[in-house]
Amino acid sequence: MTGKHITTVTLNAAVDKTYFVPALTPGKANRVSRMIAQPGGKGINVARVAHLLGENVVATGIVGGSAGRFIETELTKHGLRHQFVQAESGESRVCLNVIPDSGGPVELLEPGLETRPEDYGRLALTLERLAETSSVIVLSGSIPSGGPSEIYREILGRLKPFGVPVLLDTSGAALKHGLAASPPPFLIKPNEEEIAQLTGASAISANEPELASAAAALVRQGIRYVAVSLGDRGSLVAGTDGTYRVESYPVKAVNTVGCGDAFLAGAAVGLHRGLPETEWFKLASACGASNALHLSAGWVDPAQVDAYAEAVRVERLW
């Protein structure tokens, strides 16, 4: 869409640090052999992937302190446009991903800034300005300390007059409140546990037909698309015109952190480009696979994404 951009919102922006260690041994000093630091938070990861794919992106949200300045400086250095709101006080969080040579990674996530109502008021005004030229808006991630659990519902309400598709990726009370917005989000990306909570089921197994049925039930509540990750098996996507199984391109993952954000970025880019739904399903899946091959979250290889998207298969279930 000429002149339009993708807007991403990260309420709980972070400095993401990845520590590589030979081993992670409790009770002993664990020396870091390599460290990567970059701007993070789910919405920023989405913005970076969309930017790497060559799209016009503006990242916004709330940042604070020296960590917030690092986030803005690094985004500028990489050519990614941003319009963050500065919190009155406090520091943006630091999130650690510790990756030993053998065994799974360990994530340590700080709670985030102590935000105030005026921070969200200024963010709402920024979002309304950005919405005028947005093709897609992505609301992604947790709510920082002091933030109201209904903030995503309030943001969706403020964005209603602009008629822009809004993708929502959060969890818990924030997700439930977001779904109560009028209109509800265009797309959500719940996991299996969240689908069980949202549909009132006591539990939902990993049985694909059961998950697909639950996702379709959420669509009937007014959401246009519900995407459920199946890990390395791909995803299930229920929409108003049908329910699909989208395979994942097979890769040997080196880091799975950020794959969901990359998937969401692919969906946003596909919508921004006006692709048919099965094509942006493929693009989203390809982005998730490419992210899994990078040591840091929210990174993809555009040529790799194109090749993977060509190979991904989409099967209509009903």
pTM of the model: 0.94
* 270 and 136 Cβ atoms separated by less than 8 Å: no
Cα(128)–Cα(89) distance, integer angstroms: 24
- CATH number of the CATH domain containing 86: 3.40.1190.20
How many structural domains does the chain have? 1
pLDDT in tens, the chain (318 residues): 457 999 999 999 999 999 999 999 999 999 999 999 999 999 999 999 999 999 999 999 999 999 999 999 999 999 999 999 999 888 999 999 898 988 888 889 898 888 999 999 999 999 999 999 999 999 999 999 888 999 999 999 999 999 999 999 999 999 999 999 999 999 999 988 888 778 776 555 667 888 899 999 999 999 999 999 888 889 999 999 999 999 999 999 888 889 999 999 999 999 999 999 999 999 999 999 999 999 888 999 999 999 999 999 999 998
Query: Residues 248-253: contacts with CB within 8 Å, 24+ apart?
Result: 248/285, 248/288, 248/289, 248/312, 249/285, 249/286, 249/289, 249/308, 249/311, 249/312, 250/289, 251/289, 251/290, 251/292, 251/293, 252/293, 253/292, 253/293
Of 230, 242, 241, 11, the residue nearest 113 (C-alpha): 11
Please give the backbone phi and psi of residue 131, each rounded to the nearest 5 degrees, phi first.
Answer: -60, -30
**Consecutive H or E run containing 316:** strand 314-316
Cα(313)–Cα(282) distance, integer angstroms: 7
Range of the domain at 67: 5-24+33-316
Of 50, 22, 94, 36, the residue nearest 291 (C-alpha): 50
DSSP state of 254: S
SS3 assignment, position 215: helix
Cβ neighbour number for residue 304 with a 10 Å cutoff: 18
DSSP sequence for 90-128: S--EEEEEEEESSS--EEEE----B--HHHHHHHHHHHH
User: Residue 27: is it exposed, middle or buried by C-beta count within 10 angstroms (0-12/13-18/19+)?
Assistant: exposed
Cα(62)–Cα(83) distance, integer angstroms: 9
